[in-house]
Amino acid sequence: MFNKSKSPAKPSSVPSIPPLPDMPQAPQTPQQAQAPSAQPRQPVAQPQASGRNLSTLSADLQFEGNVSGAGDLQVDGQIRGDVKVGRLIVGETGAIEGGVNADYVEVRGRIVGAVSGKQVKLISTAYVDGDITAEQLSIDIGAYFQGRCIQGSRGAAPAQAAAPRPSPQPAVVPQAPQPVPSADAPQRIDMSSN
């Protein structure tokens, strides 16, 4: 009824993954070397968070001046100046003294200055001394934050005050007439406003 094959079954659901270019290739078993691939090998896409490469300022570097660009930046060193990038990660050894403006900001280190972004995350090792303007803010237990938190978009102008309404007129209370001072009496001048 059933016909059993004497050859070992090949796992067809496990795709073969090509080795990384800088890693030595693992030795193949004789069965793997002889087995023809059922499907042509497709290049494996490397996942990236935003499709851009991450630039890094390493822990032993100090930078004085403003940093700007549309790319991603990880700061493990120190920056004295404003930072305006697409995505910013401040590592545990990283420190920024200046304003920060990015779509995504993740702080594990220290920032002294205003932070502005769409999404701001303060990890438990973060130290932020400055105002934060964000659409989404996440603060882990243990993170230090000193400043004001403003929820809203980065580019939005401050909300305009409503059109001024006419203030109600205060009730006028008639005052008693003041006596006329004599020429010999000292004069008193009342400087209070009514």
Average pLDDT score over residue span 110-127: 96
Residues ≥6 apart with Cβ < 8 Å to 131 = 114, 115, 147, 148, 149, 150
Highest mean pLDDT of the ranges 13-17, 96-100, 159-163, 184-188: 96-100
Residue 104 lies in a domain: yes
Q: What is the pTM of this model?
A: 0.54
Residue 121 lies in a domain: yes
Residue 156 lies in a domain: no
> Which pLDDT value is given to residue 181?
57
Structure tokens at 191: 């400087």
Q: Map residue 57 onto helix, strand or coil.
A: strand
How many structural domains compose the chain?
Answer: 1
Domain range for 73 is 54-151
Residue 136 lies in a domain: yes
> Which pLDDT value is given to residue 179?
60
Residue 103 lies in a domain: yes
CA distance 142 to 123: 8
For residue range 27-60, list pLDDT tens digits in order.
555 555 555 544 444 443 333 344 458 899 999 9
